[in-house]
Structure 1
């Protein structure tokens, strides 16, 4: 109770690096919710995968992201010749711009070579695992003992995007064609690119670190 009363809300809310973490969560979960909630629909209605195979194929992107999170997490911990601030920026940019690039490619691929679509879709999900060394790691490091407040608000990004993403997807994919899904992929890619505030990660880091009381 004493710890909760002493949370420096003003210091936290006035730190750009913390806002960069929260904004990044919006971009991340916009992509994650689009992929994980609607990939079965895309795979079955657009790419034409059989319904009984959709469950397996839809599980591949999350699996790719899980494995990449482990790999990027270990890499972030082992790299010592780069500062933490720069690692936050590098990993976040790899995740956001990498995933956005694959989604843009997917948007213009058409639906002729379905297996290639599936591979690119999986790559878009997999590279997003680099967020383990990006904003996911930056939040606790910057806020230190107040990380429960900062990381707790990341869950707000999950909730917000779970409400918005279905509206975007369903409003654009009335006929479930590749042309309609092209705009879904491009919108998500644009959101991710705009939510990568890597230039703010680490800015005023000393202030965030000095929240100790």
Structure 2
């Protein structure tokens, strides 16, 4: 970036990067939660008995079932809130899988647009389109719509890499990684509980309308505050621009060296660790309600509360881990990456060992606490493979995060089909097999990470001395050369 494009402000707010960080994580969280909106509303929109029409037509238990099975739930003269869509098993599977497929299909097209247009414009358009699709979903319940919703959510992971590389000073990358990766937990704190309440107490279409409005609010915030170049921000000071750019390169617009990246063992250490931890992490996101009700015997109401406890505990721990990974200086960066990743994987695997050895019948309260611990410990990954991805790939972190996104979608699909096959009766004995697989996956993936990870830029990501950012504070220029 040339000197003339820099801000010449000496005053102003000196922590603009943290405003960008906060806006980014909330925007990405609610953009991601748009994918979850259908899952949240599905319980009501697919259940004929939840419609007021069910009681209206009820003539007795047997007659009601016969009558409602033949009833047309989607005529145009019915108010939308009274419509029901009783999908069969195949339709339900396709609809749920459509958003994952959309995420896979959209990764590389969105990465191309992100690279050539920039995060500000790309994500502004994505946000507007997501709001429109979310608001229109009630009138077109179809897998094709969920496919487009997933497609639009595809750039979320690449944008994390872009925001970190563009806005995080070298000494604060751990904090940025920790906060931005928390978008996954933030979206689960809002959409499932609030959406379920709205669907039950108001109606299911309102779930989509509220989600569209909230997403629109944060989209406007992104459009107004975010800038691809910190030097172009209307609030930033020259000192903060220099702090952000110190030690960085301008080569982020160059094409990633694909062959070098995919033959790099240090990057594969990141990929393998991501696959293992995301595969295991899906248990708490998707299958923990079934485990709490079927194995531990909790009611649906208590289960809803229990499923968000790990998320609430994980968020502050993730922030602490990110700050600690930046501030601890008595051990090497490589040692920190290995320690933080091992706290998540090895210690998590150890808790799973205890879980399979201590049946829930022994102490249900202890069993409940034990099953939460491995997922709370995933917070340490912010100082593990997440930070390693940025340290190794530097200006190519957007591309690397896009590959992490692809692997996360594949791990999600794999666990979605594998776990139900292993737990048809949902007994503790069947879940033991799943937990043994979790132990193996966490252990093997972390061993690979420990052996091959690096804490320095790969050869294909080294900073070019001729292409570094110039520091304004080192050589003051005449004021007419600075952007007015």
Q: Please state which band the TM-score falls in when normalised by the shorter chain.
A: over 0.9
In 2, Cα distance between equivalents of 1:129 and 1:208: 29
Q: List aligned pairs for 1:91-102, cutoff 5 A.
A: 91-102=340-351
Structure 2 unaligned spans of 5+: 1-115, 117-250, 468-484
Give the greater-gyration-radius structure (CA): 2
2:338 to 75, 89, 95: 89
Structure scoring higher RCO (CA < 8 A, sep ≥ 6) equals 1
Structure 2 length normalisation: TM-score?
0.42
* Residue of structure 1 equivalent to 2:421: 171
**Structure 2 residue 450 is the aligned partner of structure 1 residue 201:** no
In 1, Cα distance between equivalents of 2:463 and 2:286: 38
Which structure carries more helix by proportion?
1
* Residue of structure 2 equivalent to 1:79: 328
TM-superposed CA distance for 1:207, in Å, is 2.4
**Structure 2 residue 462 is the aligned partner of structure 1 residue 210:** yes
In 2, Cα distance between equivalents of 1:205 and 1:143: 6
Contact 1:143 1:211 in 2 (8 A): no
In 1, Cα distance between equivalents of 2:443 and 2:460: 25
1:152 to 391, 395, 402: 402
- Counting matched residue pairs gives 213
2:382 to 132, 136, 141: 132
* Residue of structure 2 equivalent to 1:10: 259
- Farther off after superposition, 178-187 or 200-209: 200-209
Structure 1 unaligned spans of 5+: none
* Residue of structure 2 equivalent to 1:120: 370
In 2, Cα distance between equivalents of 1:177 and 1:40: 14
TM-superposed CA distance for 1:5, in Å, is 5.2
Contact 1:64 1:123 in 2 (8 A): no
In 2, Cα distance between equivalents of 1:143 and 1:28: 20
Structure 1 length normalisation: TM-score?
0.93
Per-residue CA distance 1:186-211 (angstroms, 9 max, x = gap): 10121111111211111885525427
Contact 1:16 1:203 in 2 (8 A): no
* Residue of structure 1 equivalent to 2:303: 54
**Structure 2 residue 259 is the aligned partner of structure 1 residue 33:** no
Contact 2:346 2:443 in 1 (8 A): yes
TM-superposed CA distance for 1:6, in Å, is 2.7
Contact 1:89 1:199 in 2 (8 A): no
* Residue of structure 2 equivalent to 1:66: 315
Contact 1:61 1:121 in 2 (8 A): no
Per-residue CA distance 1:170-191 (angstroms, 9 max, x = gap): 1111111111111111101211
- Give the secondary structure class of the aligned counterpart of 1:199: helix
TM-superposed CA distance for 1:88, in Å, is 0.8
1:182 to 429, 432, 436: 432
